[in-house]
């Protein structure tokens, strides 16, 4: 397997941020992975989609990947996790990474760099540390009876 970190070009600062900032990942299927920066006070506002081609994070929806030279921290953070790259590269239309089987279909778990997990609602974006803690928006159509 190709070492994606060796293929990507990025600055030392970007590499440091990819290692030290806390990221969570969600396989969307079809070679796309959501990368969320959990270090921010509002993580949902810092969530981007990284596309994987040939085992390499090829592009990201963030502004830094568009307007700066080299790979952004989201692409590098994903490149540092070969198991996630492999799952994303499977190219399935359905996500390849398993979620907690006890969760309703609209909820997923996202692993954090510190080894924890966050339960995330795919419908409204609400999240929490456990199923009971998911902070659904009042108008989320899937919230009733899920927590």
Average pLDDT, the chain: 77
Residues 139 and 117 in one domain: yes
Residues 32 and 51 in one domain: yes
> Whole domain around residue 113: which residue ranges?
98-147
Tell whether the model's pLDDT for residue 127 goes beyond 80.
Answer: no
Q: Looking at residues 63-77, what average pLDDT do you find?
A: 94
Q: Can you give the pLDDT at residue 92?
A: 54
Per the CB < 8 A criterion, the answer to whether 79 and 56 are in contact is: yes
Indicate if the alpha-carbon torsion angle 50, 17, 43, 113 is positive or negative. positive
Nearest to 110 by CA among 35, 14, 29: 35
Which of 53, 72, 89 is where one domain is finished? 89
Burial class (CB in 10 A: 0-12, 13-18, 19+), 37: buried
Tell whether the model's pLDDT for residue 43 goes beyond 60.
Answer: yes
């Amino acid at each position: 397997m190709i070492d994606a970190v060796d293929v990507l070009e990025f600055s030392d600062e970007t590499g440091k941020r990819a290692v030290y900032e806390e990221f969570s990942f969600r396989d969307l299927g079809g070679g796309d992975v959501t990368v969320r920066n959990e270090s921010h006070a509002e993580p949902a506002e810092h969530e981007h989609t990284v596309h994987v081609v040939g085992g390499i994070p090829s592009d990201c929806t963030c502004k830094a990947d568009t307007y700066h030279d080299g790979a952004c921290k989201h692409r590098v953070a994903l490149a540092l996790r070969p198991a996630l790259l492999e799952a994303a590269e499977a190219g399935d239309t359905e996500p390849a990474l398993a979620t907690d089987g006890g969760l309703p279909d609209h909820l997923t778990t996202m692993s954090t760099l510190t080894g924890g997990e966050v339960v995330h609602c795919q419908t409204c974006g609400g999240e929490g540390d456990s199923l009971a803690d998911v902070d659904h928006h009042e108008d989320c159509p899937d919230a009733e009876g899920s927590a």
